[in-house]
Chain A
Amino acid sequence: QQPVQSPQAVILREGEDAVINCSSSKALYSVHWYRQKHGEAPVFLMILLKGGEQKGHEKISASFNEKKQQSSLYLTASQLSYSGTYFCGTEVPGGSQGNLIFGKGTKLSVKP
């Protein structure tokens, strides 16, 4: 039931792009994305809802393919501040409201 994230880790140079994928074996109602920097709390990035609606706070884009039960997070022109571990959290239809299941995370390192 835990979503699968890929890749597990990625190293980038500043200015390069990255894509992080999140796949589920179950139909999804929504996908949440969070970033956690070392020693800090996870911080919300974006929510993608069934039907295509997106809610986000930062200039990071994402897609949600309901048929394939997949979501992808796109980080373009990466900055040093993008470094951290990215988690996707999934919600399945019929599940209770507070039950977000997270993947194991993707560690992103941006080098100068």
Chain B
Amino acid sequence: KAGVTQTPRYLIKTRGQQVTLSCSPISGHRSVSWYQQTPGQGLQFLFEYFSETQRNKGNFPGRFSGRQFSNSRSEMNVSTLELGDSALYLCASSPQGTGMGGTEAFFGQGTRLTVV
């Protein structure tokens, strides 16, 4: 069974540009969550999509957006990039979401975004 796949693995962008990251969840998983990981801050929750609908949103500016397609694949977009957006972006999938039934999340390897 294939794991969670994130593409690309590495990206270098210039301030002011926009970027799109992709996440393919494990087959059959309908929930996809996105996290930003920076040194010292841990995993900061961005948003979660379930069946093409955003179900939860973290405390990030509107420059961060996402969507989910009918095949559960998800994309995350960051517009008007800032230096502080440099981070590892992780996505995690689960069948129905991680709560209420104790379902684990399966993480991808992440996309390392560097903004210069």
Chain A interface residue count, CB cutoff 8 Å, equals: 28
* Residue in contact with B43 in the complex, picked from A42, A55, A98, A99, CB distance below 8 Å: A42
Chain A residues with CB under 8 A of B66: none
Chain B, 64-116, CB within 8 A of any chain A CB: 90, 92, 94, 96-100, 102-110
With A2-B42, A87-B43, A104-B42 in contact, do A96 and B106 touch (Cβ < 8 Å)?
no
Chain A, 91-109, CB within 8 A of any chain B CB: 91, 95-105
B interface vs A, CB < 8 Å? Answer: 4, 31, 33, 35, 40-45, 48, 50, 55-56, 90, 92, 94, 96-100, 102-110
Chain B residues with CB under 8 A of A89: 43, 98, 105
Tell yes or no: A110 within 8 A of B by CB: no
A interface vs B, CB < 8 Å? Answer: 2, 29-30, 32, 34, 40-44, 47, 49, 53, 55, 87, 89, 91, 95-105
Cross-chain pairs A/B with CB under 8 angstroms, 16 sampled? A29-B100, A30-B99, A30-B102, A34-B105, A49-B102, A55-B104, A87-B43, A91-B98, A91-B99, A95-B56, A97-B99, A98-B97, A98-B99, A100-B98, A104-B40, A104-B42
With A40-B109, A41-B108, A43-B107 in contact, do A102 and B98 touch (Cβ < 8 Å)?
no
Kindly report which residue of chain B lies nearest to residue A55, judged by CB atoms.
B102
Kindly report which residue of chain A lies nearest to residue B104, judged by CB atoms.
A44
C-alpha spacing A55/B103, complex, angstroms: 9
C-alpha spacing A98/B50, complex, angstroms: 8
C-alpha spacing A40/B109, complex, angstroms: 6
Q: In angstroms, how far is the closest chain A Cβ from the Cβ of B98? A: 5
Chain B residues with CB under 8 A of A40: 109
Chain A residues with CB under 8 A of B94: 98
C-alpha spacing A101/B36, complex, angstroms: 12
Chain A residues with CB under 8 A of B106: 44
Q: Let me know if A97 and B31 touch, CB within 8 A.
A: yes
Chain A residues with CB under 8 A of B96: 97
C-alpha spacing A96/B96, complex, angstroms: 11
